[in-house]
């Protein structure tokens, strides 16, 4: 069965949303989301690695023996991670310092190895490319959403470059949102809210079916 390439791209946003539906790749999700800019760059790095790894895993899927597929995946994932690391250190040194060990740690981000194993190893190249792009973009949106909430509540405003919104904080910022406890609680409550919304949608669909 050949599913449409477009579906493989679009499913990363809601249906197979990596953070909220699949619940994988949590560590960086929490660690880098103290500001929107950090979240954005982390997301871009993950998109690059995911697309690169997916395409190459898919290209090599017919010549890779089953028994040694995991070491092969790891090498195919580590290569783009090193590329991201070197490029970021050269062109965005400040961001490289902030993201710190979480850039090399993309290697062990469960999202990437999970997509290689569950998707790219079985699907044609174009679909794998779309899947990588979609899941990566979904992940980036999650990071931006979470970091937006945390930055807004934690500092009172969202800062992107020289752009600030709102211009001055209109409430006393809760610095705890920027600390680890704030991150955990924020993500936990966000998931609960999403559960409520999904449950409501399901109930509506059921009511309509009856």
Partner 1 sequence: MEIIAIILGGVLINNFVFMQYLGLCPFVGVSRQLETALGMSGAVIFVMTMASAVTSVLEIYVLAPLGLGYLRTIAYILVIASFVQLVEIFMKKAAPGLYKALGIYLPLITTNCAVLGVTMLNVRHSYGIFLSTLNGLAGALGWSLAIIIFAGIRERWRLMDIPKTLEGFPLALVSTGLMSLAFLGFQNLFKAVFR
Q: Is 17 helix (H, G, I), strand (E, B) or coil?
A: coil
Residues 172-201 that bind partner 1 (CB under 8 A): 176, 179-185, 187-189, 191-192, 195-196, 199
Task: Tell me if 109 contacts partner 1 by CB under 8 A.
Answer: yes
Instruction: Give the span between the Cα atoms of 132 and 128, in whole angstroms.
Output: 6
Per-residue contact flags (x/-) with partner 1 for residues 9 to 28, judged by CB under 8 A: --------------xx-xxx
Task: Tell me if 85 contacts partner 1 by CB under 8 A.
Answer: yes
Upper half-sphere CA count for residue 161 (Cβ side, 13 Å): 1
Q: What is the 3-state secondary structure (H, E, C) of 85-132?
A: HHHHHHHCHHHHHHHHHHCHHHHHCHHHHHHHHHHHCCCCHHHHHHHH
At its nearest, how many Å lie between partner 1 and the CB of residue 51? 18
Taking residue 101's Cβ as centre, other Cβ atoms within 10 Å add up to 7
Task: Tell me if 31 contacts partner 1 by CB under 8 A.
Answer: yes
At its nearest, how many Å lie between partner 1 and the CB of residue 71? 7
Q: Rule CB under 8 A: which residues touch partner 1?
A: 23-24, 26-28, 30-31, 70-71, 74-75, 78-79, 81-82, 85-86, 100-101, 104-105, 107-110, 113, 176, 179-185, 187-189, 191-192, 195-196, 199
């Amino acid at each position: 069965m050949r599913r449409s390439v477009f579906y493989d791209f679009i499913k990363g946003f809601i249906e197979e949303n990596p953070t909220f539906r699949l619940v994988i790749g949590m560590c960086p999700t929490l660690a880098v989301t103290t500001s929107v800019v950090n979240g954005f760059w982390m997301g871009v790095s993950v998109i690059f690695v995911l697309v690169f790894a997916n395409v190459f895993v898919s290209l090599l899927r017919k010549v890779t023996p089953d028994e040694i597929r995991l070491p092969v995946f790891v090498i195919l994932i580590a290569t783009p991670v090193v590329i991201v690391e070197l490029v970021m250190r050269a062109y965005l040194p400040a961001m490289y310092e902030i993201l710190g060990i979480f850039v090399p740690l993309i290697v062990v981000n469960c999202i990437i190895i999970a997509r290689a194993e569950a998707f790219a190893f079985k699907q044609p190249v174009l679909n794998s490319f779309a899947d990588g792009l979609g899941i990566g973009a979904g992940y980036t949106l999650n990071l931006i959403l979470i970091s937006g909430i945390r930055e807004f509540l934690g500092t009172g405003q969202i800062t992107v470059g020289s752009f600030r919104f709102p211009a001055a904080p209109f409430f006393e910022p809760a610095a705890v949102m920027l600390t680890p406890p704030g991150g955990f609680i924020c993500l936990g409550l966000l998931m609960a809210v999403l559960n409520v919304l999904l449950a409501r949608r399901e109930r509506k669909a059921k009511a309509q079916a009856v």
